[in-house]
Amino acid sequence: MDAAPGPRVSRPVAICDNRVMKVIVTGAGGLVGSHVSRELSSRGHPATPLTRPSSRTSPGSIVWDPHAGRLDPAALEGHDAVVHLAGESISSGRWSAERKRRILESRVKGTTLLSETLARVPNGPKVLVSASAIGYYGDRGADRLDENAAPGHDFLAEVCQRWEAATRPAAEAGVRVVRLRFGIILSPDGGALPKLLTPFKLGAGGVIGNGRQYMSWIDINDIVGLIVHALSTPGLDGPVNAVAPSPVTNAVFTKVLGRVLSRPTFFPLPAFAARLLLGEMADALLLSSQNVSPVRATASGYAFRFNDLESSLRHQLENPAR
């Protein structure tokens, strides 16, 4: 049974035997980064943003420039960990050749710079929690996928493989590296869910394609919880699937979302129409199937707050305070 809803992840969760941990966060202004920074700060662990020169900086933030390869190693000293979430959005527009280049380079260049810099800082962070995605696995139908499953061969699979490989310099230098493979994050504040809500609220929601593709989802509270768990679990490293234990097909997701919103779900989006609208991105984000299992997360002791899709959706959409 899911835990009672609340505005934040469950407490208490100790980080490094209850001592104060100073954490650097990249992508701190994004959906996950803002939630993680707030949660760490609420627990008494200072969260320091790593920001680009063009971004609005706050007092105490560290400036870096991944494209120019600039990150001052001295700025990382005195910190205990890094949560690395920065990267070009994959869903903000059709995938032209230029956008695909930016999606790949924003992840590989930034992660390489961060990882190589961490490897050179003797008194710097000893833990790196780096985002990846279940796109690593490609389109795999109904096959149940744990962290040992082979990678796919499409564009997102290539991005994820190179993204994860870019953390290798830090790992080889003795930094504990956790590569969290994010599933579909459920939050009305950003990500996939707000894009789905509009047609459903207008009564035009329905299955996408044949509806048989698996959607491996995770509540935003459990994403934050897993990041905190990764920071505080010394034996955890390598790839970790950041998904709820109960993935569903698109047909089931559609039915549940319609029920939560009290809206009909009679208007399907055929695969050909999705491809006309979104091009290659439709296959990668809407029509591909990944039936992913969080084996390493549960084996390491993480207890999911939201195992059931309907409880997560109701918590996010019916509870204004969340």
How do the domains of the chain map onto residue ranges? 23-187+217-247+293-310
Do the bridges between strand 248-249 and strand 214-215 make them parallel or antiparallel, or are there none, so unpaired?
antiparallel
Beta bridge partners of 131: 180
| C-alpha dist (Å) from residue 253 to 17, 151, 265, 282, 316 | 39, 25, 11, 17, 15
pTM of this prediction exceeds 0.85: yes
The two three-digit tokens of residue 133, written as one number: 């995605």
Per-residue pLDDT of the chain (322 residues; tens, 9 = 90+): 333 333 333 333 345 556 789 999 999 999 999 999 999 999 999 999 999 887 666 667 899 999 999 999 999 999 999 999 999 989 877 899 999 999 999 999 999 999 999 999 989 999 999 999 999 999 999 999 999 999 999 999 999 999 999 999 999 999 999 999 999 999 999 988 998 898 888 888 999 999 999 999 999 999 999 999 999 999 999 999 999 999 999 999 999 999 999 999 988 889 988 898 888 888 888 999 999 999 999 999 999 999 999 999 999 998 755 5
> Would you give the DSSP letter of residue 283?
I
What top-level class would CATH report for the domain 23-187+217-247+293-310?
A: alpha beta
Find out whether 17 and 72 touch, Cβ atoms under 8 Å. no
